[in-house]
């Protein structure tokens, strides 16, 4: 069987604090995610393979792949018979979502894997448990498991609140040929841009209550706290910072709103 693994964009991304978990420091965020229906990877599943395997053009070792990580984290949640079934699963991945672009491709792949094997192999896990598993794989995975098109996201990404789906809009994704490291961007942000006074100001601005129209009226720097450290690391991306163009997540991809006619024409060209 074949399943679609969709991309997402961040309408905004604001850092609102830090936390320590198992002696590891994490940034706490507030963001709004929107699923991108026109951009997705394709995952093909074979449940009669000799062993668990991944096939695809990946830019990392198998052990670092989010699907493999999801497979490993999933095992303690299922029975011995279900583990046997999982061990005969092959996943063939066709990538369309740019790696390092801030569009959540790896997280989406992990979520898609968890949802499909849960359904097709009758693992019997509810959505809350799948989201718990997903959170151990990556911060964006719970959003994709939620199946929401538009949601406010908090904490490290595990707190998901539906947002008015009727306020979604068509976008064009802009994909520079640049791979950005999330870890490097956050590391530089923590070192040179993190400010307690800025955090207090951000919390007072009530970003989660802002309408999409308000967000679209801002500039890219106001909407995404990671844009400045990103440009420090990749100055070649500065030319994309134009009016009405916004950064998604911590990667190199930008997006802009487009009307229905523009969207239809762009989507037709891509087919």
Known binding site for ATP: residues?
Answer: 98-108
Rounded CA-CA distance 117/82 in Å is 10
Rounded CA-CA distance 113/5 in Å is 9
Catalytic residues: 8, 140
Rounded CA-CA distance 231/150 in Å is 27
User: Residues with Cβ < 8 Å from 242, sequence gap 6 or more?
Assistant: none
Numbered residues of the known binding site: 98-108
Rounded CA-CA distance 91/114 in Å is 12
Rounded CA-CA distance 167/184 in Å is 33
**For residues 133 and 30, is the Cβ–Cβ distance under 8 A?**
no
Q: How many CA atoms lie within 13 A of 5 on its CB side?
A: 32
Tokens of 190: 């923590």
Which strand ranges, in their side-by-side order, compose the sheet holding 171-174?
171-174, 254-257, 245-247
Rounded CA-CA distance 34/175 in Å is 17
**For residues 41 and 97, is the Cβ–Cβ distance under 8 A?**
yes
Alpha helices in 121-195 (DSSP H): 127-137, 141-146, 182-192
Q: How many CA atoms lie within 13 A of 96 on its CB side?
A: 16
Instruction: Classify residue 34 by burial, with Cβ atoms within 10 Å: 0-12, 13-18, 19+.
Output: buried
């Amino acid at each position: 069987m074949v399943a679609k693994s969709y991309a997402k964009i961040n309408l905004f991304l604001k850092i609102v604090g830090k936390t320590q978990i198992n002696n590891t420091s994490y940034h706490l965020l507030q963001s709004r995610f929107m699923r991108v229906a026109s951009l997705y990877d394709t995952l093909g599943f074979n449940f009669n393979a000799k062993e668990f395997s991944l096939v695809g053009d990946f830019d990392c070792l198998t052990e670092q792949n989010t699907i493999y990580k999801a497979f490993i984290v999933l095992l303690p949640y299922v029975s011995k018979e279900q583990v046997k079934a999982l061990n005969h699963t092959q996943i063939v991945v066709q990538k369309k979502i740019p790696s390092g672009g801030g569009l959540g491709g790896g997280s989406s792949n992990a979520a898609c894997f968890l949802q499909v094997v849960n359904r097709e192999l009758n693992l019997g896990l509810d959505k809350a448990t799948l989201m718990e598993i997903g959170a151990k794989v990556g911060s964006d995975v719970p959003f994709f498991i939620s199946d929401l098109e538009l949601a406010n996201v908090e904490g490290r990404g595990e707190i998901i609140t539906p947002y008015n789906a009727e306020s979604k809009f068509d976008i064009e994704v802009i994909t520079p040929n640049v791979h950005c490291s999330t870890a490097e961007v956050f590391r530089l942000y923590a070192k040179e841009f993190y400010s307690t006074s800025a955090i207090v100001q951000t919390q007072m601005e009530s970003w989660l209550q802002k309408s999409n129209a308000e967000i679209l009226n801002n500039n890219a720097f106001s909407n995404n706290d990671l844009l400045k450290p990103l440009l420090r690391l990749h100055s070649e991306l500065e030319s994309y910072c134009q009016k009405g163009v916004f950064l998604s997540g911590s990667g190199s991809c930008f997006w802009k709103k487009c009307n229905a006619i523009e969207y239809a024409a762009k989507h037709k060209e891509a087919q």
